[in-house]
Amino acid sequence: MSCHEIGRGVDVIMRQVLDMYDEGKISKEAALEMVKKFPKAVHWCDGNEDEAQRTLTLTHCAACLHKYEEDDEIMCVDVLDSRSYDINISEFRIIDAWYESMEKNDFNGRSLCRSCFNKFFDSLIATDDMKKLLEAYSKHEA
């Protein structure tokens, strides 16, 4: 059984870091370093990284810390993954591609702005499966 309290506690710290970054109190480099490391703290108590990243997922791009505006297209791995099952893309696993991209591009998070998504997934965007997935995702977001 996982410990949800540690994830929620780390998210409170994550929110503070993002607020301090938005207010110019800490540098982008410092904020990105903390954003990448904090979710790993949940492993000390069988917690869930997604709970520790809730504020980040909903408010900022995990790679560039762009603060989302109301009309921004947010690319969230959880929604993308569920859409891939809805449209029966069995061979293509966005979750696997996402984790590979996190490792390769040195970010840790569950959402990206569209610009970072396009940059990190440019080789996949042209594939038929990704085109279907992005179409289904766009319909979900509308």
CA distance 35 to 30: 9
Quick: pLDDT tens for 26-83. Answer: 999 999 998 887 766 655 666 566 676 778 889 999 999 999 999 898 998 888 888 7
Residues 6+ apart with CB under 8 A from 93: 81, 84
Split at pLDDT 50, 70, 90, the class of 132 is: confident
Q: Please, are residues 50 and 9 in contact by the beta-carbon 8 Å criterion?
A: no
pTM of the model: 0.81
CA distance 68 to 62: 11
Residue-level pLDDT at 62: 93
